[in-house]
Every structure is written in C-alpha cells, then in structure tokens.
Amino acid sequence: MNNRFIVMVEDNPDDAELISTSLQSSHLANQLVWLEDGAQALDFFFCRGQYCDRNINDYPAVVLLDIMLPKINGMEVLRQLRADERTRTIPVVILTSSKEDRDLLKSYNLGCNSYVQKPVIFEDFVSAVRNLGLYWLLLNEPPIPPRAK
C-alpha cells in the first residue's frame, strides 16, 4: 500500500459501490479499502485480527467514515482514532446521511476534519465524492504522522 489509498468505512453496499465507482471513474483512488463496520475499522487501523500483518505505519490519505455503523458506531471509531498518537493525524471525513446538528457538532468535537452530508440525488452524490477525492488526494498536504515504535 502507499499513502494515497482511501479507507471507506460504510455499511451500506449501495453507498459503498457508489463511492467506489465515483472515485474510480475520476481516477482518484489507486486503492480503496472498504470496511463494513466500526469493529472492522478499528481492527484495520490498529492492526488487529485479520489485519494483524498490516503495517500500522501505512497511513491512508483520508478516511471516509459513516456515523451509523453496526457493531461500533462511527463516533466511537473517530474517538479511538483521535485518542491514539499513531492515528491522531489521519484525515477523517464524516460522510453520512445524518442531518442532525448534534451529530455535526459531536463529529467536530471529536476531531473530524470535515463533515459531509450524503446527497440524495445521484449526480450530486457522485460530484460530492469526486470533489472529496480531488481535495484529499491531490490538494491536501497531510502531516507526517508519528511512526509506531
């Protein structure tokens, strides 16, 4: 893996397919890692379980994180990412269907880098994902994260 990969934490297969297709059609994702629930996401980031052989120093360019996930919700995933020095600086974009002000506020209080409500109209959804990819992969200058010891 290289540092230009994207992690998508999304339990809805239709949304995951749409995100994947949008990024690939724009030639933005060299590699897209799809994780279907919060527990799987935490295992991936902290190299546990089926991801125990993954290099913890291999950071994604951005994480697209849904809030409403099975097993462990997106807010808890975000909280744990920000609580650990090794993952604290990984860019996290909340990509959710939630229109709740409390979710927006909580996401920023927990340290998300951006909060995007999933558009309902297909073309708007595709455009939003394409723009996210353009920004986080081509324009953003990420910090150099600390290396695991």
Domains with residue ranges and CATH for the chain: 6-137 (3.40.50.2300)
pTM equals 0.89
Average pLDDT value for the chain? 88
Residue 3 has pLDDT above 60, yes or no: no
Range with the lowest mean pLDDT among 18-22, 24-28, 33-37, 91-95? Answer: 24-28
Q: What is the DSSP letter of 119?
A: P
Q: What is the pLDDT of residues 95-126, one digit of tens each?
A: 998 889 999 999 999 999 999 998 888 888 88
β 114-117/6-9 pair status: unpaired
Say if CB 44 and CB 51 are below 8 A apart: yes
Residue 60 has pLDDT above 80, yes or no: yes
Say if CB 31 and CB 3 are below 8 A apart: no
In whole angstroms, what is the distance from residue 7 CA to residue 28 CA?
13
| Burial of residue 77 (number of CB atoms within 10 Å: 0-12, 13-18, 19+) | buried
Across 18-52, b (16+ Cβ under 10 Å) vs e yields: bbbebbeebebbeebbbbbbbbbbbbbbbbeeebe
Percentage above 70 pLDDT, the chain: 93
AA letter at 63? V
pLDDT at 42: 98
Residue 130 has pLDDT above 90, yes or no: no
Residue 148 has pLDDT above 70, yes or no: no
Average pLDDT over residues 119-148: 78
Contacting residues for 146 by C-beta, under 8 A, at least 6 apart: 85, 86, 89
Across 117-141, b (16+ Cβ under 10 Å) vs e yields: ebeeeeeebbebbeebbeebbeeee
